[in-house]
């Protein structure tokens, strides 16, 4: 016969939740943090990144990712990328698919992430989406590091300068858009082999990457400067980028408007180079083409 006292004891344990197993020991590489932390609250993201950096053992960042519920950093150690993340209330090293290709290394102290929630709200006002927002800090490919907010499902990615100011959206059918676009692509470069603007694409600057390649710096309406190297022998001579005057470009467009050759929807482009031995501006405005000097005065081809 079964012992009644034993049966009663087993029943009591069942009511209390059954057998209790000992808690698993935490992984040596893991660190438990505050449960239910919201990284969009003021101060929380910066605090968490400092903990991740401390765990990584170096402040040399090449990528940062932040959402409401998790964060990750990728650092460079001994020339190799290493990623640490806070997920499921635990800090630990994780596998990474980031490749280190000499992108710009940065410090988190140079970025205004004091209120990630405010950055998310600013991005939402432009992208019209707050679905699974993610803040990323990374080299844009042109050597400059920007913050950006993306969503899932994907909407428009919104970019921010390190101080938290929004990257302006450029309209290349305005004087201001032309001026800012050219300023961005020229940046700190003293010379170029060609500079141009396409109203439907953006402003660009070409320079020699090597004896057999040409590098293009491109600033579109909504994305900061990116670079692309193509296999094209640079054959045009160098000229000073400072010689290009955005106001002269605008004067040519305004003159075309007065001739009824340029309306708000008219596509146009200009390329500035020394293909003829003299620095000229080569315009296509709608179906019309013309060549001008650097002041915008029409010249013979």
Q: What is the pTM of this model?
A: 0.83
Pairing of strands 226-230, 239-240: unpaired
**What angle is formed at CA 29 by the lines to CA 79 and CA 108, rounded to 5 degrees?**
50
Question: What are the pLDDT digits (tens) for 73-132?
Answer: 999 998 899 999 999 999 999 998 898 888 999 999 999 999 999 999 999 999 999 999
- At residue 17, φ and ψ (nearest 5 deg) are 115, 10
Q: Report helix, strand or coil for 82.
A: strand
Q: Is the peptide bond before 143 cis (omega within 30 degrees of 0)?
A: no
The reported pLDDT for the residue numbered 33 is 54
The residue extents of the domains of the chain are 31-160, 175-292
Alpha carbon distance 201, 263 (integer Å): 17
What tens digit of pLDDT does each residue of 41-51 get?
999 999 999 99
pLDDT at 140: 82
């Amino acid at each position: 016969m079964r012992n009644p006292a034993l049966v009663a004891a087993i029943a009591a344990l069942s009511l209390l939740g059954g057998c209790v197993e000992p808690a698993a020991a935490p992984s040596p590489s893991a660190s438990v943090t505050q449960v239910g932390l919201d990284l969009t609250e003021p101060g929380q993201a910066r605090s968490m990144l400092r903990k991740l950096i401390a765990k990584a053992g170096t402040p040399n960042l090449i990528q940062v990712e932040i959402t409401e519920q998790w964060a990750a950093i990728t650092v460079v150690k001994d020339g190799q990328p290493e990623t640490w993340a806070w997920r499921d209330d635990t800090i630990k090293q994780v596998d990474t698919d980031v490749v280190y290709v000499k992108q710009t290394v940065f410090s988190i102290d140079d970025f205004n992430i004091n209120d990630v929630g405010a950055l998310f709200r600013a991005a939402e006002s432009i992208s019209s989406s707050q679905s699974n927002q993610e803040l990323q800090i990374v080299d844009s490919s042109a050597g400059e590091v920007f913050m950006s907010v993306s969503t899932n499902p994907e909407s428009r990615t919104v970019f921010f300068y390190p101080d938290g100011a929004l990257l302006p959206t450029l309209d290349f059918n305005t004087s201001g858009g032309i001026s800012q676009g050219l300023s961005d692509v020229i940046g700190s470069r003293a010379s170029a082999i060609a500079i141009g603007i396409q109203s439907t694409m953006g402003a660009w600057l070409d320079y020699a990457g090597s004896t057999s390649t040409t590098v293009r710096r491109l600033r579109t309406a909504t994305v900061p400067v990116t670079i692309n190297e193509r296999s094209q022998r640079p054959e045009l001579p160098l000229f000073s980028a400072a010689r290009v005057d955005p106001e002269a470009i605008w004067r040519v467009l305004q003159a075309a408007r007065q001739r009824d050759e340029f309306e708000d929807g008219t596509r146009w482009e200009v390329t500035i180079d020394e293909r003829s031995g003299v620095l000229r501006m080569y315009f296509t405005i709608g179906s019309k083409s013309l060549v001008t000097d650097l002041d915008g005065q029409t010249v013979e081809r």
